[in-house]
Chain A
Amino acid sequence: MNDATAVRRRQLRTAISYSILVAIAVVFIFPFVIAVATAFKTEPNATADPLNLVPSPFTTEAFSQLYKDQDFLLWVQNSAIVTLSVTFLRVFLDSLAGYALARLRFRGRGAAFATIVAVMAVPGVVLLIPKFLMIRQLGIYNTYYGMIIPLLVDAAGVFIMKNFFESIPVSVEESARIDGANIFQIYWLIVLPMARPALVTLFILSFQGSWNELAHFIVSAQSTSLNTLTKGVAQLASGQLGSGNRYPLKLAASVLMTIPVAVLFFFFQRRIMNASSGAVKE
């Protein structure tokens, strides 16, 4: 009898746990479902019946408007150019620096590392005006260079790579050195292939970070021909509401711009979960 009570109590507890989980999951997922549904609605329908998950009438008007009336494809193109350049170069440069800090012995290494850590502590928003001033001073305002170069290095990435290199055994490198490989060969041919997990992590973090970046693009370029997705869609959102609220249009844009990171997320979700916990653990 005692056993039966215990079992029943456990079942009750499981049931309660699940109800709580499901309730919270609904709160987290429902908004995204609404966004997708609304993107296929007409504006009057979206306003009158925001809760309905079945668009009636169903229309792809919002998407064709994005294509016809907005420079959506240009924004996609700019985002792709900037994100891919930033991601590949950042992974390369961060791993170079991380390797030097982890493995190579030279005077000033400690100081260099301390400086990079100190720089990491400066909050990004504080840097908006300083970055703009420098970008203008260098004459790269309103160019891809101004949008890309300042994002190429991130101290956190150097940190991640340094930690990873320190975790792999040094013996392989030593035998390569005895075999006569030079430092760059060791780095490029031996260490980098071993560092694949960390490189993938850094790739994901950089891709997600630069694809979603808004503030830096606001201060580094003004020309609408250099609008990225974040900037273009943000302007769409805060644009004059002369012709209604245009929520289907805005939400269609939001849904589309989320797809690349969502795909990356579902493809690499294990690694992402790992990365964000690993990165802060140190």
Chain B
Amino acid sequence: MLNRLARRRDPGIRGHEAAAGWLFLAPVIVILGLFLVLPIAMAVWVSFSDWNGNGSPLGAHAHFVGLDNYRHLLTQPGLDQNNFGTSLRNNVYYVLLVVPIQTAFSLFLAVIVNRRIRFVGFFRTAFYFPSVTSSVAITILFLFLFSPTGVINKLLSYLGATGPSWLYDPRGLFHVIAGQFGVDQPSASLQSHIFLGVSYWDWLSGPSIAMCVFILLAVFTTSGTFMLLFLAALQNIDDSVNEAAALDGATEWRKFRFITAPMIGPTIFTVVTLGLIGTWQVFDQIYVGTKGSPSNTTLTPAFLSFNSSFNSNNWGVGAAIAFILFAIIVFFTVVTRLATRSPDHVPRRRRFGPTQPLGTPDASRVASAGPGSAP
């Protein structure tokens, strides 16, 4: 009110405000425009061109080739399509395993560290620590743990088992399991039907043993972050509800099922969405760990996009992969959104609640529940 009066009396301030507003925003807008918006436009052009890395993609070296690059990836049999199909297969299994496991595991961690127990701060810290370390350092650590003569196989040998060679093992997990049941030859129809350059039999391979290491790595490094998200949601649940349920004789499981689970719906949505977005972008770990080997079974679209451009100088194809990957990520985000928007979904209520910025009393409640505050 006061503000409005002041402005009416002195229009100059409003003029100042507009100028200052744009001035304050200018660096952000210039940098985002220069390194996000314009480059994307440039990359769209490259994905329709035959540019091979020489000179500028905007100069005489690049020629318009229409949808050729996309065709090479999606409809035209050949090496490009084969690699792309393989990378999709690998990444699909990675997503299918990592997202549910990390969501369930981080929720489990949050529930057990949400109790009033001793040393709870220590446990929260321990579970969160892998999330702050660099992907390079963690990947190297996992290369060592899972090396053929490494820690994991040593542990397995104490149990009398012989571990696989992990990152050198291209066998698909489902193929290995099928093999245990005597199915080690694909039927002719599985072998002859091909989608995106990959036979149905290979689509059904499951993640390779090598990819399983990256799946464990992802769960190890992301569970802590998501645990914190769940923890914040759990601490928003009023204790009196749980106490009332306990008085009514509800068991732990029933309390979780009928009170906790519905209340943390929006957080589950957030975690699944962030999980999907993250898992479709695996790059660092592959770059440091395997570069796609063995037999391309850890190749991911993100790494393939990079490799096609920077190493094979096939920039059009690399850019096209990036945009297809973008479409995939947008698709899954939208689908998750729609799937969780059913009318009887409790979470909606909280979605429309007031936002809770950092530093407000609510956020500091989360802070005081941090690891330092162990009783």
Give A residues with C-beta under 8 Å from B: 14, 17-18, 20-21, 24-25, 28-29, 31-32, 34-35, 38, 47-48, 50-51, 93-94, 96-97, 99-101, 104-109, 112, 115-116, 119, 121-138, 149-150, 152-153, 155, 158, 160, 163-164, 166-167, 170, 174, 177, 182-184, 187, 197-198, 201, 208, 211-212, 214-215, 218-219, 229-230, 233-234, 237-238, 245, 247, 250-251, 253-255, 257-258, 261-262, 265-266, 269-282
Contact = CB atoms under 8 A, between A and B. Distances in A.
A186 B20 CA distance: 12
B371 A254 contact: no
Question: B32, B39, B115, B358: which has the most chain A beta carbons within 10 Å?
Answer: B358
A20 B112 contact: yes
B136 A257 contact: yes
A205 to B, nearest CB: 10
Nearest to A186: B20
B42 A51 contact: no
Question: B29, B115, B291, B357: which has the most chain A beta carbons within 10 Å?
Answer: B357
A258 B137 contact: yes
Contacts of B130: 28
Given A17-B117, A215-B284, 4 more contacts: A50-B144, A149-B35, A197-B359, A273-B128
Contacts of A50: 144, 147, 149-151, 154
Interface stretch (B194-202, B256-264, B323-331): B323-331
A34 B124 CA distance: 20
Nearest to B119: A21
14 contacts: A25-B122, A28-B127, A104-B18, A106-B18, A123-B281, A132-B309, A163-B355, A170-B3, A183-B17, A262-B129, A273-B367, A277-B232, A281-B232, A281-B356
Interface of B: 2-3, 6, 13-14, 16-18, 20-22, 24-25, 27-29, 31-32, 34-40, 42-43, 46, 56-58, 109, 112-113, 115, 117, 122-145, 147, 149-151, 154-155, 220, 225, 228-229, 231-232, 270, 274, 277, 280-281, 283-284, 287-289, 291, 302, 305-306, 309-310, 315, 318-319, 322-323, 325-326, 329, 333, 355-360, 363-364, 366-368, 370-373
A251 B281 contact: no
A237 B127 contact: no
A256 B326 CA distance: 35
Contacts of A183: 16-17, 20
B325 A278 contact: no
Nearest to B305: A129
Contacts of A160: 358
A123 B329 contact: yes
Contact of B310 (A116, A197, A219): A219
B163 to A, nearest CB: 12
Contacts of A150: 31, 35
Contact of A124 (B29, B143, B281): B281
Contacts of B128: 272-273
Contacts of A112: 25, 29
Nearest to B115: A17
Contacts of A32: 129, 141
B288 A258 contact: no
B133 A262 contact: yes
B126 A254 contact: no
B132 A208 contact: yes
A79 B57 CA distance: 30
B140 A278 contact: no
A146 B12 CA distance: 40
A112 B220 CA distance: 38
Nearest to B122: A25
A116 B54 CA distance: 33
Given A122-B36, A250-B144, A94 B28 contact: yes
Given A17-B115, A123-B280, A257-B134, A106 B22 contact: yes
